[in-house]
Amino acid sequence: MRKKVSLFYLFLGFLIFTVGSILIVPIIFGIPNPEARLNWWWKFSLLGYFLSILYSAKFFMPAEKLPINNLTKPPQSRLEFLKQIAIGKQILLVSVLILPALVILTLFSNIPLIQAIICFPGMIIVALTVCTWNTAVNLSPTLRQRGWKFILKAILILSLFLVLYIFTEMAIQGPLWGTVVEKLIFLILFSAILFLLTVKESYRGVRLDWAGENHSSS
């Protein structure tokens, strides 16, 4: 019975995101400026990722069903933490849900294909970040209480990164600047920093809760 329900929600997810992408295509296609089209494609694609993450967490991998809940002691490393929240399986599910919609949105929105392709690594890392944070918040009362502090810290660190990157770009006028390769490097670095910060804070919050009264008997 559970398998049938999962298949139903999988089909429903495909249907929702596919129909959504078909409705969005004319909006992007009708924008005359190529850069503006790409920007809106990026925004709608990220929105699709966020919604598919929430959908997956609701119907396929809720926090209370993850392997971390079966541990008798807290994860001993950030890597083990990611393994115990099944981050790889979460991303696979999200990618399966969003893939048809993303293909439709990319092929029929009249945007440069190479420009869209370079955004995919950044999108995957952003999806990793959101999956990690969303799961950790559901597992950790500490993160729910002090999450705003992390958000402020992340904004500060990413702002410093942006300033450093801009100054580097101004100081070193190399052949890469302003090219597709430079955009790819920037997106990967920016999203990777955000992901590492999120993993660090999520792991810390879960361990703090584990050391508290909720797991004092373990």
What tokens appear for 102 in the block?
């993303």
For residue 3, is pLDDT > 70?
no
pLDDT at 197: 93
User: In one letter, which amino acid is 4?
Assistant: K
- For residue 24, what are the contacts with CB-CB under 8 A and spacing of at least 6? 44, 105
Distance linking the first and last C-alpha atoms of the chain: 34
What would the pLDDT profile of 17-50 be if each residue is shown by its tens digit? 999 999 999 999 999 888 889 889 988 998 998 9
Distance from CA of residue 135 to its chain's centroid?
12
Mean pLDDT of the chain: 86
Residue 93: HSE in the Cβ half-sphere, 13 Å Cα cutoff:
25
Of residues 165 and 202, the one with the higher pLDDT is 202
What tokens appear for 90 in the block?
């979460």
pLDDT at 178: 64
What's the domain range around 96?
2-215
pLDDT band for position 214 (50/70/90)? very low
The two counts, helices (H) then strands (E), for the chain are 8, 0
Nearest-angstrom CA–CA distance, 63 and 51: 16
Percent of the chain with pLDDT over 90: 39
For CA atoms 86, 131, 184, 40, the dihedral sign is: positive
Radius of gyration of the chain (CA): 20
What would the pLDDT profile of 172-209 be if each residue is shown by its tens digit? 776 666 677 777 888 888 889 999 999 999 999 888 88
Q: Residues 114-129: what's their mean pLDDT? A: 86
pLDDT at 216: 43
Of residues 172 and 88, the one with the higher pLDDT is 88
Across the chain, where does the E strand assignment appear?
A: none
Nearest-angstrom CA–CA distance, 83 and 195: 15
Give this prediction's pTM.
Answer: 0.82
Specify the number of domains making up the chain.
Answer: 1
For residue 165, is pLDDT > 70?
yes
Nearest-angstrom CA–CA distance, 126 and 95: 12
Q: Residues 61-72: what's their mean pLDDT? A: 88
Percent of the chain with pLDDT over 70: 91
